[in-house]
Structure 1
Amino acid sequence: MTKKALGKGLDALFSNEIPVYDETEVKSIEGIQFIQIDNIVPNPDQPRKTISDEDIDELAESIKEKGILQPILVVPKNGNFLIVAGERRFLAAKRANLSKIPAIIKQFTDEEILEIALIENIQRKDLNPIDEAFAIAQIIEKYSITHEELAKRLGKSRTYVTNVTRLLKLPTIVKTKILENKLSRGHALPLLQIEDENEIIMVAEKIEKEGLSVREVEKLVRDYSKKKIKDEDNNRTDKEKELEPFIKEIEEKLTYKFNTKVHLQGNFNKGKIIIEYFSKDQLESFLK
């Protein structure tokens, strides 16, 4: 099935040139109509899981004064209308006690609904990184598409998509801090270089307590990694040190072969190989 250029299409749907809509004149505008607010339902797969009451209150006051500047985007669903984009406007309109709201009614597949909702929130710039990560992971898992393919649809790089989804590997307590805006994406990404979960939590708490900048966090993690390597080196036996050049050479060859980090643990007789991967695509590529 040919995919629609969703990112570009949103520019037309959410143009800043859209005027304030009045029910008496909206009938002449193609594709836009007023819908009873009680017939509209939120999207359960909406990427933005956290919307502050303060934001809704501010938008509700604006709607009372100026009306709704942009219609919401909906699809017909089970006798009602499902929100594809514009949930904040919908919630604010309800809070402003409006009975009807201007909407653009379209037909989209479930996959397109997810993509448009995600794109709209990304374009608004304030989508929480964890909400974004869950939404991206959901699309990838549910529709079995690659990081590269989704990145093109979102107008992002493959690296961006991969890094965002990696945030879901962080401990729950750290993800909660990100959801609460106590840590930014820039603070969180360096933490993925730390293997020990307790160490990640400890560093995250230090970031919050001391108000560290992203650069300070990056330096802190680099220093942590150097110290760990030094401690491990001090704990190695002479025999293990003799094996180091051999192990390192094999690691480098395997890293080149698989195009990802590879670690060897053990000796000449037995051990294990640890191959890092950061996406389903990368994992499947090892089997080719």
Structure 2
Amino acid sequence: MVEYKVVPLDQLHSRESQVRQEFDQEFIEELAHSVKREGVLVPIIVRTVRKGYEIVAGEQRWRAAKIAKLKEVPVAIMEADDRRVLEVALLENVKRKDLHGWEREDAIAALWETKAYGSLSDLGKVLDVQGDHVKEILRARELRRAEHLPKGSSTRMITTVAPLDRASRKAILEAQEQGDIEKDVHNVTKLVSSLRKIPEGARPRIVEAVAKKQLDLDDVDSMPGVAETEDDVEQLVEAKRTLPEREYHSVVSYVKQERAGGRKPVLKTIISGDVTIWNTYLNTLEAARDEILLLSPSKCRGWDVEHRVRLQKALNQIDRHVEEMLIELGKGT
């Protein structure tokens, strides 16, 4: 049962376990201007306590009313125990876009810790979400608190990087806070998928390289089976910076093939060695083929048909041999 009335502003008190822990003072001051003109249009939800009324939901309106120096405000007085108060407060705030992820996580955790719900699915029904989603929220809160993850990271983003190791998770989220990696769930999901296939020791340097725009997501996607250590990543970053694109991809493909065959190639040696030399041959042969294709027996005026046929056959043979060589050399690209 809810009772509506107007009460003196000084009889309202903030609740200790407030869902919203941080308030946008600029927003409240703007709201105060509106309240001064129009009054508080939406009643503040409260419950009766020994010294007046405890605010259940609507603390921003209460703060704005104080700035506007109102004497009285409309309230909706409800009868509720602590659990129900937390539910109402959370439900009023949980859909708001300006509520921080960590505030939402703490409020949902507080509800779960009351032990008033038989399962996460039961709590999910109160919040109008699936039980699995509640589990993800609680997991994100656990990681945020245990690993001191940035407050600015959303619950969804923490959930996205959760499959990674601790150092990699933190590296991605901190790079996002600095504006070096986009807060794009799709791209971060792709990054996480690639990193999970790479040894943990190499991951933080890869994240750093992505943040510094030294590597892109496609480069990272090609690294499983190539980058195993931080030093490997350093070598690949340098190769990406200094080599032509074809040669860089030749190095990556060659190392991947060697490691797949049980061998242990040394990246530094490969980058400065045979792969780049053979790639030069590849470029030369391609150029030669392009020149050959410009030749045509039809341009040989005065030649008889027999000589033209022989020339055409010779050109076809040369083209075929060059193509075979390109295919063989191209297997490393």
TM-score range, shorter chain: 0.5 to 0.7
**2:163 aligned residue (170, 193, 216):** 193
Residue number among 198, 208, 211 corresponding to 1:227 in the alignment: 198
TM-score, normalised to structure 1, is: 0.64
Seq. identity, %: 29
Kindly provide the amino acid, as one letter, of the partner of residue 188 in structure 2: V
Deviation digits for residues 37-94 of structure 1 (CA, Å, limit 9, x no counterpart): 1111111112111111011111111111221110101111113101111111111111
Query: Highest Rg: 1 or 2?
Result: 2
Aligned partner letter, 1:67: G
Equivalences for residues 158-237 of structure 1 within 5 A: 158-172=131-145, 177-178=150-151, 181=152, 183-195=153-165, 197-208=166-177, 209-212=179-182, 213-228=184-199
- Larger relative contact order (Cα-Cα within 8 Å, sequence gap ≥ 6): 1
**Counterpart Cα distance in 2 of 1:188 and 1:118:** 21
User: If the length of structure 2 is used for normalisation, what is the TM-score?
Assistant: 0.56
In structure 2, the residue matched to 1:69 is: 41
Query: Please, which of 36, 39, 45 is the counterpart of residue 8 of structure 2?
Result: 36
Cα shift at 1:187: 2.2
Q: Give 2:120's aligned residue.
A: 147
What's the secondary structure of 1:74's corresponding residue? strand
1-structure distance, mates of 2:15, 2:145: 25
Tell me by how many angstroms 1:121 deviates: 0.5
Secondary structure of residue in 2 paired with 1:226: coil
| C-alpha RMSD of matched pairs (Å) | 2.6
- Change in Cα spacing, 1:176 to 1:32, as seen in structure 2 (3 Å) is farther
State the secondary structure of the residue aligned to 1:51. coil
C-alpha spacing 1:97/1:175, structure 2 compared with 1 (3 Å) = farther
CA distance in 1, matches of 2:104, 2:190: 26
Change beyond 3 A, Cα 1:86–1:112: same
Question: What does 1:199-278 align with in structure 2 at a 5 Å threshold?
Answer: 199-208=168-177, 209-212=179-182, 213-228=184-199
Cα distance in 2, alignment partners of residues 77 and 176 from structure 1: 37
Q: Deviations over 1:247-266 (max 9, x none)?
A: xxxxxxxxxxxxxxxxxxxx
1: CA distance between counterparts of 2:81 and 2:193? 45
* AA partner of residue 168 (structure 2): E
User: Following TM superposition, by how much is the alpha carbon of 1:117 offset from its aligned partner in structure 2, in angstroms?
Assistant: 0.5
Q: Which runs of 5+ in 2 are unaligned?
A: 201-223, 230-333
Change (3 A) 1:207 1:123: closer
Classify 1:206/1:89 alpha carbon distance in 2 versus 1 (closer, same or farther; 3 Å).
same
Residues 56 and 175 (structure 1), Cα distance of their counterparts in 2 relative to 1, 3 Å cut: farther
Q: Distance in 1 between matches of 2:146 and 2:22?
A: 17
Unpaired stretches in structure 1, ≥5 consecutive residues: 1-8, 14-30, 236-288
Matching residue's letter, 2:69 = N
Q: Residue type of the partner of 2:154?
A: S
Return the letter of the residue paired with 1:152: K
User: How far off is 1:176 after superposition?
Assistant: 5.7
Conserved? CA contact 1:33–1:104, under 8 Å: yes
- Does the aligned pair in 2 maintain the 1:129–1:164 contact within 8 Å? no
Contact 1:130-1:175 within 8 A present in 2 as well: no
Which residue pairs with 1:156 in the alignment? 129
CA contact 1:207–1:217 (8 Å) conserved in 2: no
User: Of 96, 106, 115, which aligns to 1:124?
Assistant: 96
Q: Distance in 1 between matches of 2:159 and 2:195?
A: 15
User: Residue 257 of structure 1 aligns with which residue?
Assistant: none
Q: Is the 8 A contact 1:75 1:82 kept in 2?
A: yes
TM-aligned CA distance change 1:206 to 1:125, over 3 Å: closer
Partners of 1:96 and 1:221 in 2: how far apart? 49
CA–CA separation in structure 1 for the residues paired with 2:160 and 2:71: 48
The aligned amino acid for 2:141 is L
Alpha-carbon spacing, 1:69–1:106, altered in 2? closer, same or farther (3 Å)? same
How many angstroms apart in 1 are the aligned matches of 2:126 and 2:54? Answer: 22
1:8-40 deviation digits (Å, cap 9, x = unpaired)? x9xxx9xxxxxxxxxxxxxxxxx3211111111
Deviations 1:202-240 (A, max 9, x none): 111222332412212111111110113867xx89xxxxx
